Amino acid sequence: MAENFYGVYQKVWQEWNNYLNTNTISGQAIRPEILTSWERCKNIGVNPYDGRGQEIIEGPALKEAKERQEELIRAARPVMKKLLGLCGNLGFLVVLVGEDGYILEMLGNYQETIDMARKINFIPGACWREDKVGTNGIGTALALGQALQVTAAEHFCSGHHSWTCAGSPIFSPEGQVIGVIDISGPWHRENKQALATVVAAAMAIENSLRQSRAQKEALTYQQILKHFLENNSEPLLVVDRTGKLIRANYACEKVLGWKPEELRGRKAEEIFDNFQEILSLIGARQSIKDKEIVVQGRKEILRCRADLSPITGDYNETIGAVIAFKLLNNRQFYIHLPPGLPGFEKILGHNPHFRESIRLAYIAARSDSPVLIMGETGTGKEMFARAIHEASGRKGPFVAVNCGALPRELVGSELFGYVGGAFTGARPEGKPGKFEQAQGGTLFLDEIGEMPWEMQVYLLRVLEEKKVVRLGGQKEIPLDVRVIAATNSDLSKLVKEKKFREDLYFRLGVFIIRLCPLRERKSDIPLLFEHFVCQVSQKLGRNTIRIDPSIWPLLERYDWPGNVRELRNVAEWAVNLAQGDILLPSHLPPYLWESRTTQEDRPSSFSPATLAELEKQEIRRLLEYYSGNITKVAKTLGIARNTLYRKLDKYGLRTR
């Protein structure tokens, strides 16, 4: 066994020698990742006959490097001590390296190995990147971003041929390489378990970093609270290091129109047009004075100047920033806000509960688990389902099925398909069901509460086994389909009434997203209505229509039983009715003029006297607004001048 071990590395040494002298490899002894590393080293001019650390930081420079990576060192020290206990008696060193390749910490209790290390400057402060000392378990693991063991002549530099080293990258909670944990020792003591050991050690350090980060989040909120305990009349926003809005004071509401609770939890880039630039300055811990920014207000976009002050944590790292801003001469202009996650850009709303639904949908889009969307008719369940599908990156189609619209006897054949001759009237060649049609994509089962009881068992089996059998057939067809279900019914109530299977309810409801009705997020009505008006205007080839402010009270006092769908229909009605460049209350459907707000109270017809009085008031208001200019009043109302004169006579408003 020992003879075979030495023989293998004798072949590796021969291949190394051939490569340096003839630039060729004759056998299979060299792993592809090692050969690729040799090529990199040769191309950048690493000396293969050296291997000593040439670039070393000492004293204040090393101290500064350690302070900068204190969080990593704190997390790694307990793990390094355990590693030394596991392999120190074999003569191994345990090494921690920072993201820039400099050795931060080194532990060892075998003097012979420590002396070997000193001879090649393998010491704290030395740079052990691949471009400095050639192929090695530290530098090459950094270059590849993956764990690697390098032994004897696999090292590019001959000075390392007496070593074996196994290194594994350490990733931050955000997924970026921030260092390497490594064990190094005499090559003849190579251990095949070494690589698995350092990978486990790296995972333990990463877990410790995540726990530390969670504790820091708590400290973050304490630090932020201090800033808000002080009375300050300036509008203030606080963001964390990722750019998420954490707190806002009430002075913000006067300027932006947003309540503090509406801002909390949103991404700052949704509010600030150039926030990525600001975020980079926060990371650099730079204070900013009089920075010109563009801010998205609740109803308008504002140009402001802002002062930015970074907030530091216990280890002097940046954990967030306070932004104080003021309007710049109240000047306003329109900009396009950056798009969000693909698929979600069409979903509008800033209500906190609605934003939470969007957040859950974002999370759901990153997995293949079933989703159950619950909400009243018209709240946008299918829009959410499509957004989740588009953001998931699934390549297959989005297939929608309304379970409530299918005849009871056809539900099975529509969903699961059938083979030829399965029943009377079946196609001879058979037919694939919706599950097969959605292969590789998403199947949206709307009104799932209407699915017949006997079909629910079959659906449950398909979801659990990820296979479908066509009706009348025996062949199992494997499925790669993401299922999203939706309902406006109370499924838990249907379960209690034995109208919906409990096991299917729990299988579908891995992610449950509840959409609040429009009456519970009336603050979003102006945003949605303006969007729909603009959308319909563009569709009709019309210029942008201005909305008269007197419309808002009418829209906000109504309870919207048809939710967003009804609001969109109202916008379409109003734009079609309006012929001028302004949308007036008289262009809204008649039932919105009444004080009653429920669907049951809608009038089946409206009083001509009420409409005439409203029209009279509107004409009088416009006459005052345009100082009696008949042409402008007629244009705004979208009627001819002669028609306006007749109405003036009718209502006794004409001045003679």
CA neighbor of 262 nearest in space, from 561, 522, 513: 522
Please tell me the predicted confidence (pLDDT) of residue 303: 66
Residues 473 and 589 in one domain: no
> Of 212, 246, 273, which closes a domain?
212
Report, as ranges of residue numbers, the positions in the chain whose pLDDT lies below 70.
Answer: 1-7, 88, 218-233, 273-274, 299-303, 313-315, 326-343, 421-426, 544, 594-615, 618, 625, 635-638, 655-656
Say how far apart CA 259 and CA 187 lie, in whole Å. 65
**Alpha-carbon distance values, 433 to 134, 321, 411, 430, 461 (Å):** 58, 54, 10, 10, 15
CA neighbor of 551 nearest in space, from 524, 577, 582, 523: 582
Please tell me the predicted confidence (pLDDT) of residue 363: 86
Please tell me the predicted confidence (pLDDT) of residue 219: 67
pTM exceeds cut of 0.85: no
Please tell me the predicted confidence (pLDDT) of residue 184: 95
Say how far apart CA 537 and CA 100 lie, in whole Å. 56
Residues 508 and 530 in one domain: no
- In sequence order, what are the beta bridge partners of 641? none
- Residue spans of alpha helices (H) in 178-239: 194-229
| In-domain check, residue 46 | yes
Please tell me the predicted confidence (pLDDT) of residue 229: 40
Please tell me the predicted confidence (pLDDT) of residue 15: 92
Residues 26 and 174 in one domain: yes
Residues 608 and 628 in one domain: yes
Residues 36 and 20 in one domain: yes
Please tell me the predicted confidence (pLDDT) of residue 32: 92
Please tell me the predicted confidence (pLDDT) of residue 239: 85
- The H or E element containing residue 260 is helix 260-263
Residues 499 and 531 in one domain: no
CATH of residue 127's domain is 3.30.450.40
**Alpha-carbon distance values, 441 to 199, 367, 389, 459 (Å):** 35, 13, 8, 17
Using alpha carbons only, give the angle 469, 475, 478 rounded to the nearest 5 degrees.
Answer: 65
Both tokens of 238, joined, read 């606080």
Domain that holds residue 141: 2-212
| In-domain check, residue 434 | yes
- For every residue of 522-539, DSSP letters joined together read GGGHHHHHHHHHHHHHHH
- The H or E element containing residue 364 is helix 352-365
Token pair 């590849």 in the structure block, residue: 144
CATH of residue 482's domain is 3.40.50.300
> Of 165, 180, 212, which closes a domain?
212
Please tell me the predicted confidence (pLDDT) of residue 577: 84
| In-domain check, residue 219 | no
Say how far apart CA 328 and CA 301 lie, in whole Å. 12
| In-domain check, residue 220 | no
| Residues 478/466, Cβ–Cβ less than 8 Å | yes
- For every residue of 599-632, DSSP letters joined together read GGG--SS--HHHHHHHHHHHHHHHHHHTTT-HHH
Please tell me the predicted confidence (pLDDT) of residue 69: 93
Please tell me the predicted confidence (pLDDT) of residue 637: 65
Residues 486 and 634 in one domain: no
**Alpha-carbon distance values, 161 to 54, 193, 515 (Å):** 18, 20, 64
Domain count, the chain: 4
Say how far apart CA 55 and CA 133 lie, in whole Å. 9
Task: Reduce the DSSP state of residue 247 to 3 states and report it.
Answer: strand
| Residues 151/9, Cβ–Cβ less than 8 Å | yes
| In-domain check, residue 492 | yes
| Residues 303/270, Cβ–Cβ less than 8 Å | no
Say how far apart CA 514 and CA 261 lie, in whole Å. 20
Please tell me the predicted confidence (pLDDT) of residue 375: 92
Say how far apart CA 554 and CA 525 lie, in whole Å. 11
Using alpha carbons only, give the angle 513, 518, 523 rounded to the nearest 5 degrees.
Answer: 110
| In-domain check, residue 226 | no
**Alpha-carbon distance values, 597 to 380, 477, 523, 531, 606 (Å):** 21, 52, 17, 23, 15
| Residues 435/417, Cβ–Cβ less than 8 Å | yes
Please tell me the predicted confidence (pLDDT) of residue 227: 56
Please tell me the predicted confidence (pLDDT) of residue 405: 80
Residues 173 and 248 in one domain: no
Both tokens of 151, joined, read 């032994």
In 43-162, which ranges are E strands?
A: 93-98, 103-107, 148-151
Torsion of CA 221, 226, 228, 230, to 10 degrees: 180
- The H or E element containing residue 44 is helix 32-44
Q: Which residues contact 329 (CB under 8 A, 6 or more apart)?
A: none
Torsion of CA 120, 124, 125, 130, to 10 degrees: 50
Please tell me the predicted confidence (pLDDT) of residue 608: 38
Both tokens of 349, joined, read 């709303």
> What length is written for the chain?
656
Residues 180 and 254 in one domain: no
Give residue-wise pLDDT tens across range 286-317.
787 777 777 777 766 666 777 888 877 666 77
Please tell me the predicted confidence (pLDDT) of residue 6: 65
Q: Which residues contact 439 (CB under 8 A, 6 or more apart)?
A: 396, 479, 480, 481
| Residues 380/515, Cβ–Cβ less than 8 Å | yes
Residues 571 and 491 in one domain: no
Say how far apart CA 95 and CA 58 lie, in whole Å. 17
| In-domain check, residue 315 | yes
| In-domain check, residue 470 | yes
**Alpha-carbon distance values, 592 to 18, 318, 581, 599, 637 (Å):** 88, 52, 21, 11, 19
